[in-house]
Copies of this chain bind each other. A is one copy, B any other.
Amino acid sequence: MTEPANHAAPSERTRVRRIPTNAHYDTATLHAIIDDAYLCHIAFADEKGAHCIPTACWREGNHLYIHGSNGSRMLKRLTESETCVTITHLDGLVMARSAFNHSMNYRSAMIYGRFEVVADEAERRSTMAAFMEKLVPGRQAEIRPGSDKEFAATTVMRIALGEAACKVRSGPPEDDEEDMNWPVWAGVLPFERVAMKPVVDPQCTQPAPAYVVSWQKW
Residues of A at the B interface (CB closer than 8 Å) are: 12-13, 17-18, 38-39, 41-45, 48-54, 56, 68-69, 72-73, 81-86, 88, 90, 92-93, 95-100, 102, 104, 106, 108, 110, 112, 128, 132, 135-136, 139-140, 142-146, 150, 154, 172-173, 179-180, 182-204, 206-209, 212, 215, 218
Contact = CB atoms under 8 A, between A and B. Distances in A.
Contact of A41 (B45, B88, B212): B88
A86 B84 CA distance: 14
Contact of A43 (B52, B185, B190, B198): B52
B195 A189 contact: yes
Contact of A99 (B12, B18, B132, B194): B132
A10 to B, nearest CB: 14
Contacts of A135: 93, 102
A189 B212 contact: yes
Nearest to A96: B143
A191 B187 contact: no
Contact of A45 (B42, B45, B184): B45
A185 to B, nearest CB: 5
A199 B187 contact: yes
A186 B209 CA distance: 10
B144 A13 contact: no
A206 B183 contact: yes
11 contacts: A13-B49, A39-B88, A41-B43, A52-B86, A90-B193, A97-B144, A99-B150, A142-B183, A172-B201, A172-B203, A190-B198
A132 B184 CA distance: 14
Given A52-B41, A185-B204, A98 B144 contact: yes
A54 B193 CA distance: 18
A44 B86 CA distance: 13
Contacts of A154: 100
Contacts of A112: 49
Contacts of A143: 96-99, 102, 182, 184
